[in-house]
Amino acid sequence: MHLGDEVNYPVDWTALWRKLTKFMSFAISIPLTFVIVINFFKTGFSLDKTFEHIAIWQLPIFFLAIVTFSAVFGFLIAISFKFAHITINDGKLIGRNYWFFKNSVPLNAITKLYPFSNNGIDAIVASAGEHGKVYISTHTVDLDELIAFIESEMKASGNA
């Protein structure tokens, strides 16, 4: 790859969708299950009192609704990551910042690469000081190749 070439690195949003669906399903279901179990113990092991607002047979439907909600919400988040692709063009790394606004930083200004994780969203941050940061999703296609290229540019510019 040469600095004058435009190279695009899309995000594998379907893998992200699966990951977010699992993450949100567990993040909602596990605490809810603990609340039900604690309530079961508090009511003296009484199923009638524990499930006075919902029938036991409705629990699978309730948990299926949680998974469905997680899948729909995860899809909306993941599909937005199609816009989080990374482009290298004219010596610049073009991607999204923390607030999902498009940002462009010179490759020779990148001084740090470090991991970022928040609520199931994992990324590698390319920090270019006063030029800002670009968040690179860990679900980016050919991520290792992209990181190796950025690191080689950092070494070439003396920022490694």
Sign of CA dihedral 11, 14, 20, 26: negative
Structure tokens at 147: 């990181």
Model-level pTM? 0.80
All residues at 6 or more sequence positions from 2 whose CB lies less than 8 Å from its CB, including other chains: none
* Cα separation of the two ends of the chain: 20
All residues at 6 or more sequence positions from 64 whose CB lies less than 8 Å from its CB, including other chains: none
State in words which class domain 84-156 has.
mainly beta
d(CA 147, CA 124): 9
d(CA 9, CA 7): 7
Distances (CA, A) of 117 to 40, 81, 123, 151: 35, 15, 6, 21
User: Which secondary structure element, helix H or strand E, spans residue 140, and what is its range?
Assistant: none
pLDDT tens, residue by residue, 113-158:
999 999 878 999 999 999 999 999 999 999 999 999 999 999 998 8
Task: Show me where the domains of the chain are located.
Answer: 13-80, 84-156
All residues at 6 or more sequence positions from 66 whose CB lies less than 8 Å from its CB, including other chains: 25, 28, 29, 32
pLDDT tens, residue by residue, 66-108:
999 999 999 999 999 989 999 999 999 999 999 999 999 999 9
Confidence at 2, pLDDT banded by 50, 70, 90: low
